[in-house]
Structure 1
Amino acid sequence: MQTQTKGEFGGIGIEVTMENELVKVITPIDDTPGAKAGILAGDYISAINGQQVRGMKLNDAVEKMRGAVNTPIKLTILRKGVDKPIEMSVMREVIPIRAVKSRVDGDVGYLRVISFTEKTFDDLQAAIAKIKKQVPDDKLKGYVLDLRLNPGGLLDQAIYVSDAFLQKGEIVSTRSRDPEDTRRFNATPGDLTDGKPLIVLVNGGSA
């Protein structure tokens, strides 16, 4: 939980999925140990520290790649066009977790909030500013805020994110048996989207 809310961990900086019982690299994150070591999108990791990946769940494989900063990890990589497995040693570093991902889809700005960490609101502000630079205001029709599979996190960050899209009204309140412990959080004037339409996506995995 501390890793999720603080927004960083010790690792090598690659986004992965599971395919054919192997860990497939979706993309190495720029300026991380994985990228510097030469790991490429499309590579398959077949072993971690000598242990075969086949039979592992994705989460278990990811946990094995994480660890204390400045400790090495040995990977066996299968790469298309290369006959023999590639043996690679990579030193773990602090990897910032991207709390918000964004893109422009035609004339709509897409914002995916992955979790509410210490950096979520700052990342959201940066993502919206980036979208505004990419699409002129008169062309930008609105935004999609994707909260699907968001496990939650820090309450204050969830409040800041909500406030970013609201002009007024109560965002959330916490109540207890003692009335003095009741707290209410209200939206403040100002909307980062400048009043553009907003669609919010949630599912059963949204906290």
Structure 2
Amino acid sequence: MKRSMMQKRKIILIAILAVVLFLTIVFPYSILSVYPAVQVKIDTAEQQKYNEDFAVLRSLFEGRMGQPDHVVTYSISVLLLYQMEWLTEANHHMWRSDWEPLLTNVQSVKKELIRLSLQEDNFSDEAKVYLQQMIEAIMEIEGTVLQHTNGHTRKHIETSLRNLHSDIATSLNLYVQFWQTYYAK
């Protein structure tokens, strides 16, 4: 009787440990997680296009730094968002602690773009359109980042990160077009 009771306890303990281990692998941001980071898996061509667009924006910015105007000034926080490691590096891992700086950067960019849009007397109609689209894109990105919670599965977080990377890449392209349109005058 005691032997069967001990075997039942061992089986229950093993089952509990197996369930806990399974859950910590499936839910990477849980407290007991064995693998607390999620790999950001971006298509190589998409990653290369992002880095090219970022290099264009950075060169446009650096070319105007000597003679700053309101667009250059408001673009500093935008550059901080776009140069985040998980966006520029292939095979980067996203930790739970990386979401807070991402949210902070996105919210900062939103504020700066809204301030920049108040300077619209200086913008052509085409530049206004790009800026408006950029603000809308950043607001959607902010909503996506705010929806991030610790209860998501690894697969869901990986999919969200790919989609988020794609959305940020789109907003980067819009901002490059805004810069090129604004300074083409």
TM-score by structure 1 length?
A: 0.20
Larger radius of gyration: 2
* Structure number having the greater strand percentage: 1
* Structure number having the greater helix percentage: 2
